[in-house]
Amino acid sequence: MEKHTEDNTQPTTTSPHYAGFWIRVAASLIDTLLFIAIIAPLLTLIYGTAYWDSGTYLKGNWDLVLNYIFPAVAVTLFWVYKSATPGKMIFKLKIVDANTLGKASTGQMIGRYLGYYVSIIPLMLGIIWVGFDRRKQGFHDKLAKTVVIKQS
């Protein structure tokens, strides 16, 4: 990223401020609470309060749609159109292309969502990796070639 000096003669290079582990966890918690606030009442309306007592993993088509398909589509659409979910927007975080720091492509955002499974499956190591990586990238970020930056 280039930043021009006051006299506009010499551009200076500034490195982006990568979003670290804890701020990303907080953003994810906000997103999760928003999803619960939307999905839980709908599931209760459709299946009744017995839904919450059942030990069945998948209770029907609406369960599949509301718990898996809706979140995947909603998150991906937020990423494509806003470069962030509501939780990230609250903290002024933005998902960008790792090489250009510009807008990531739709393909990158879809790949990033699918990359979450790669990040989560091995004991959440791909998520925890954000705390150790130089550019604060999780496995899903590395696979999609994205980074999460803090906007000023």
> What's residue 43's pLDDT?
96
CB of 118 closer than 8 Å to CB of 129 = no
> In whole angstroms, how far apart are CA 138 and each of 62, 68, 132?
31, 22, 9
Q: Beta partners for 65? A: none
Angle made by CA atoms 149, 152, 104, in degrees to the nearest 5: 35
What's the pLDDT score for residue 4? 47
pTM value is 0.86
pLDDT under 50: residue ranges of the chain: 1-5, 7, 9
pLDDT at 13: 61
Residue range 82-103, pLDDT digits in tens: 999 999 999 999 999 999 999 9
Both tokens of 46, joined, read 């459709």
